[in-house]
Amino acid sequence: MSDTNNFAQDSYIATAGQAAFTITFSFLDTSHLIVLRDGIESVAFSVSGTTLTLNSAAALGEHIVIIRRSPDTFNNLLFQATNVSTLDQSDLDTLVKSLLYQTQELTDRHGQYRTVTLTGNSNVDINENSVVLVDTTAGNVSLNLPNLANSRGRYVTILKKEEANSVLIGTRDSATINGEASDALADQYDFNTYYRGPDEWYKISSMSSTAGTGGSYVHPNHAGDVTSVGDGLTYIAVPNQTGEPAGVAGRLWYDPSGDQSVYTGTINNHSDVDAASATSGDYLQYNGTSWVNVSNVDLEYTWTLQTGAYTILESDTIVYTSGNSVTLPHATGNDQKVFHIKNLSPTTATTVTGGGLIDDQLTQDIQSYNNMTIHSDNTSWWII
């Protein structure tokens, strides 16, 4: 069958003794055609119309690829005629076609990604594919990158899908890969991308496990902050913060093999947290001396409704008034504190005072049904 993903390439898996193959794309001259037989270029063919015939018939399962490669620098047909007056429409048509064909061929090589999945223990040439997914369940798989001569500007990415066995990557024409005769993929989901350089293939990107088996990963040790051991067991060491008691730096362990369980280890001291007594939904809270298990943490705003003069508490968040006055705590010592005050009275304003200046004023009024949100910068209160 032909390759419908390309403008100027046909790909066939031959039947036994097959010699004739259909060219589905247009071309200017038969010298612009390249034939690959199992990845090896062959010039032993003839062309008649849209039929290409091999001089020697193909074997069963042989991979036949027909590619158009127009010259990089096509003669300027406008000046081929000895007399400009002899230029005709066919000359201009040929010029336009040559430019179109070169654009299509560039698109084939760079503008599309074709993906093929290979399985089993076999030696397969990579010709027109840009992404190759390899299933190694049935055994090792050996792949050959195509000939350098026929791979100008090519990128090929190879990914190993399964854990078992390995993938060996070589070249069809004994060209080297980063100076080596071959390359390999050992672990599941390892991949390499290869680029056809001027005289060899270059491995320009890759991903592989750094150690272990079964997908284990050892994280780089950032000065003791992060360490991975075994098959995914990771802990993060948190240095003691200013004001915390001296002791062993905190560690949080995560073990994906244990139903995503968390082992508290040590936070500051071994006695700080009793992991055995913790129940589902518990939190850790620092009480100024040590870390303790807390079963209830109120993360919602606290609010109060006042009908008489009221001094706002530091624990308040939302204060509703009935036109009565309210007094703020001092801005100093309440850095970044925010209060929301709402006046529910239909007739009387609420006067806000105390705690320092409010927008550079000693008092501020909240009219009926209006509200005020104020914020402390540790010196004054500001309406926001």
Residue 234 is predicted with a pLDDT of: 47
Q: Read off the tokens for 63.
A: 């991979």
**Buried b / exposed e across 268-297, counting CB within 10 Å, b at 16+?**
beeebbeeeebeeebebeeeeebbebeeee
The predicted structure's pLDDT at residue 292: 66
Tell me which CATH code domain 115-207 carries: 2.60.120
pLDDT at site 324: 93
Whole-number pLDDT of residue 57? 95
Residue-level pLDDT at 212? 41
List, for the chain, all residue ranges whose pLDDT scores fall below the cut of 50: 1-4, 73-74, 76-82, 111-112, 210-270, 298-299
Sheet holding 51-54, edge to edge: 20-22, 51-54, 45-48
**Which of 284, 202, 196, 205 has its CA nearest to residue 244?**
284
Tokens of 22: 């259909």
Q: What's the full length of the chain, in residues?
A: 384
Q: What long-range pairs does 283-287 form, CB within 8 A, spacing at least 24?
A: 286/244
Is the separation of the CB atoms in 338 and 354 below 8 Å? no
Match 């050959």 to its residue by tokens: 144
The pLDDT of residue 293 is 64
Domain residue ranges of the chain, discontinuous segments joined by +: 9-73, 115-207, 226-294, 303-383
pLDDT of residue 78: 46
Handedness of CA 242, 246, 248, 251 (dihedral sign): negative
Q: Contacts by 87-94 with C-beta closer than 8 Å and gap 24+? A: 94/28
Give me the pLDDT at residue 33, please: 94
Closest CA relative to residue 358, chosen from 343, 344, 345, 372: 372
Q: How far is CA 323 from CA 97, 123, 258, 366, in A?
A: 85, 87, 58, 8
In the numeric block, which tokens belong to residue 189? 């989901």
Per 3-state DSSP, the chain is made up of helix, strand and coil in percentages (nearest 5) of 10, 40, 50
Identical fold for domains 115-207 and 303-383, yes or no, is yes
| Torsion region of 97: left, alpha or beta (phi above 0 gives left; psi -120 to 50 gives alpha) | alpha
Predicted pLDDT at 100 = 84
Quote the CA–CA distance of 249 and 229 in Å, as a whole number.
19
CATH of domain 303-383: 2.60.120
